[in-house]
Structure 1
């Protein structure tokens, strides 16, 4: 069994494969957060057929990747950030911190200390609530963008532009980019 520790951040995740028997790193990779990058890390991890993912803060910054891995049948455990900090403090170079070291610490904490808890897929009710929240956020963002686009051309010509502004009317007023 190979443990793959994940140190998640807002814009990148670092994965480090560790042999749980001797805590040696096999390899490490950094990915972005788009879905294509998630597929890239899974393709990278396929070189270890017996694997388990140890995600630091799987219910926080690692939630999206964790859900994605679970949906593909991968085994994932949640490692609390306090456990990775403890492993880092006890290892050589006490307290050194970077993404590679944190990812390896997540894997070691899962292997050695038993601090990791298994992560289960969310129920359909939770997934639907998240989708509904996301839809509401998108609708609000669209309304905000449309309002901003309408306000800008109205302020530019002397006397303002008509309230029922459309793309064609904006072009007639000479406000559209050519």
Structure 2
């Protein structure tokens, strides 16, 4: 019985190691693709090759959104007011591309965990203003949507500039 358990454990460890290698190879390939797209998204703390690739693939051209608010609405990070009797609250919009919201959520969580980052300070300031953790994170996601849109727009403009073409 012990030999069977050890054999299964050995097989599982080998499988996990193979999957880790495959994940590392995929991340390296995505990093190459993001670099080929001439994107500076990975310069933002919390955005690695996987998240940058997901943003580029899901958004396409950032210039198709006339404003940061339109982009935030598309990503589902624009707050929607919910009014009930005397109380008015905000929640995340459920419209737009629902696969972009988790990307921004992941970036927000990573930035909140970085104690020396401006985003961490912003989140803490929102909490100290009386917002709940969820509300403060929602505010940070909205702010991140603005930042991502500006970076993608700048990347697009830089790629279209005459100096960028050979």
Q: TM-score, normalised by structure 1?
A: 0.23
Q: TM-score, normalised by structure 2?
A: 0.24
The structure having more radius of gyration, on CA atoms, is 1
**Which protein has greater RCO, CA pairs closer than 8 Å, 6+ apart?**
2
